[in-house]
A and B are shown apart, each in its own frame.
Chain A
Amino acid sequence: AQSVSQHNHHVILSEAASLELGCNYSYGGTVNLFWYVQYPGQHLQLLLKYFSGDPLVKGIKGFEAEFIKSKFSFNLRKPSVQWSDTAEYFCAVSFYNQGGKLIFGQGTELSVKP
């Protein structure tokens, strides 16, 4: 079965530290890749997405992610986190010709200490 896994359940960082959140998926076919963020008490917001082309994609709020096809990975990065980045981060994958259904990873809770 197709699946998405996020390596870290809870990450705690100090402000200005660098962030990398891992995401791997199981399927070897053509995929669309997403990172969503859920701030406390708010709804899911799209951070960035990859459809095709340059495997390094830049999103909002200084986030970026790199698609490495050979590793089935789509890791999220930010060079310097802020307290306001405290949130839950979800990696999600949709598979071509699957009606657009998204499969989510388990989520990573990021806590940034001021």
Chain B
Amino acid sequence: GAVVSQHPSWVICKSGTSVKIECRSLDFQATTMFWYRQFPKQSLMLMATSNEGSKATYEQGVEKDKFLINHASLTLSTLTVTSAHPEDSSFYICSARDPDGWEGYQETQYFGPGTRLLVL
């Protein structure tokens, strides 16, 4: 149980285009998902918290208009990188909160396999 998938696994795009990444919880409902960014040989940096049916909460320094998050259903959150530029090239990882956890207190996150984005 608690499997999270992401699509696509990798994408190459031209500078100025927009790219959408999907994050799905396959066998459970996730009211909250998280989006992270990981640079090579570095740790994960939380970008935003995605809440089903409401606006995402962005971390300080993350551009809301650049990274659009939509959590339209209990099993799907999407991250759209708008007008992508080479500096947006990175590994984007999503996670979903354990549905059996005690929200905000004792809970586990399960991670997707990540999406590697390369902007030319």
Binding site for B on A (CB under 8 A): 32, 34, 36, 42-46, 49, 51-52, 90, 94, 96-107, 109
Contacts and interface: CB of A to CB of B under 8 A. Distances in A.
Given A106-B42, A107-B43, A32 B106 contact: yes
Nearest to A96: B105
Interface stretch (B14-22, B64-72, B82-90, B110-118): B110-118
B49 A97 contact: no
Contact of B109 (A52, A97, A98, A100): A100
Interface residues on B, range: 20 to 34
B108 interface: yes
A90 B44 contact: yes
B42 to A, nearest CB: 7
Contacts of B41: 109
Contact of B107 (A45, A90, A100, A106): A100
B30 to A, nearest CB: 11
B110 A46 contact: yes
B63 interface: no
Given A106-B43, A107-B43, A101 B34 contact: yes
B76 interface: no
Interface of B: 32, 34, 41-46, 49, 57, 93, 95, 97, 101, 103-114
Contact of B104 (A42, A49, A100): A100
Given A43-B113, A46-B110, A100 B32 contact: yes
Nearest to B2: A46
Contacts of B109: 100, 102
Given A43-B114, A104-B43, 20 more contacts: A32-B106, A32-B107, A42-B113, A43-B111, A44-B44, A51-B106, A94-B107, A96-B104, A96-B105, A97-B104, A99-B32, A99-B57, A100-B103, A101-B46, A102-B34, A102-B109, A104-B44, A104-B45, A105-B43, A106-B43
A34 to B, nearest CB: 7
B54 to A, nearest CB: 12
Contact of A43 (B32, B57, B93, B108): B93
